Chains A and B, each alone.
Chain A
């Protein structure tokens, strides 16, 4: 009984290290094959459109409602010690430092890493990856590198737009429901935000974008045969990229804002 428990735990840990090893190897392969000519610029542009542009509505809506809800919560909380005036600054800091990148990252992870895993997984099980190799195209270089680059570029832009919309959400709720003056609200917002807040947002977003594409492509590349294999790869891509985003967010926060 006890023995079997330890055996299971051992196997789990072994598997975990095995996967970490495989992902690291995959990452190195992306770097080594990607940063040498030829560069598939058209593929990068295509992915910029698919990852970046088409994610705008999702990220925008998420940010708007989050900013609004944040304003309501902080107003209610602040009113307990007559500090309602902190609403604009805390909405702004909360959005830019944490919620913008994290929620934006999670929403894009759900859309994009799933799509990448499904697409590449299908290409694998239908032998399209093999076909690419026989036509002298390296699949990691041709399929993965453009996705990682596009995702790492798109996320900071998406998150910046999301941050702005989130602050607007707070402003909208603040002026229509909480009786703030719009000019005062904006002034308050700008007064408290620092350059560090913005850079941390961009650094986090770039990290998350890289994670999303790598986990999506990795799971597609190593998907098992058959339709079931692709289904599992898709789920695994979303779960693993979401967990990695949340975990790395903690460590990035610790690193960026040393207490």
Chain B
């Protein structure tokens, strides 16, 4: 059994009088791919932001490699993960190649040539031709933006990858390609992954393990095999409409 890379213990979060979730515990082992599923507005994005340190949970703590996130450990954590946001979140004012290699833009360690090389390699890995390097994000389609977002997240070949609804807003065919791409990337880099989704196809393509976030709690958790067979009413509801 591989050791856990990320653990959440007793997380809760509320906004004024809107309790988003309460006492969330989860753990992802090295090299595993976890999917967090749940209906829209159930707090999946907020949970992800707490996990990566973009939001402070009200209670509970996050462990990275078994140690709580504090002091120098936080920077180490920030250098170990890549994240793809729901809308790709590319920087509009700079071209694709600078977006992808942004992490090295101000690090003082890479020349422009080196940064362009990284960008073109990663662009290739996500299946886009290097003719896109000098385009601006606004000139790309939604699916291409997602790919560039993925390329930016893997620029440092991180140990951990986070995806927030990677297929939302995409047509079914593009969604499929993105799902396969994510699976390929995870295997290629040997990364640990946490993916937020409410897309059944994504889950079946990407996930080893699944947790269902429902009504402020983790309502169900298990492996992909048990997921298909469970009698849990909320999981059945989740699977039913899409499989028809």
Contacts and interface: CB of A to CB of B under 8 A. Distances in A.
B14 interface: no
Nearest to A136: B78
A38 B105 CA distance: 12
A128 B54 CA distance: 12
A136 B90 CA distance: 15
A122 B81 CA distance: 25
A130 B49 contact: yes
B220 interface: no
Contacts of A126: 87, 89
Nearest to A134: B83
Contacts of A131: 83, 85, 89-91
A177 interface: no
Interface string A116-135: 00000010001110111111
A40 B108 CA distance: 12
Interface string B76-104: 00110111011101111000000000110
B89 A127 contact: yes
B123 interface: no
A24 B52 CA distance: 28
A239 B78 CA distance: 38
Interface of B: 49, 52, 54, 75, 78-79, 81-83, 85-87, 89-92, 102-103, 106
A137 B103 CA distance: 9
Given A122-B92, A134-B52, 9 more contacts: A126-B89, A128-B90, A131-B83, A132-B91, A134-B54, A134-B78, A136-B78, A136-B79, A137-B106
Contact of A40 (B54, B85, B102, B106): B106
Contacts of A132: 91
Interface of A: 38, 40, 122, 126-128, 130-137
B81 A134 contact: yes
**Most chain B beta-carbon neighbours within 10 Å: one of A127, A135, A136:** A135
A134 B77 CA distance: 10
B87 A127 contact: yes
B65 to A, nearest CB: 18
A133 B90 CA distance: 13
B145 to A, nearest CB: 11
Given A136-B78, A136-B79, A128 B89 contact: yes
A141 to B, nearest CB: 11
B49 A135 contact: no
Contacts of B52: 134
Contacts of A134: 52, 54, 78, 81-83
A128 B149 CA distance: 11
9 contacts: A126-B87, A126-B89, A128-B91, A130-B54, A131-B83, A132-B91, A134-B78, A135-B103, A136-B79
Nearest to A38: B106
A136 B82 CA distance: 11
Contacts of B82: 134
Contacts of A137: 102, 106
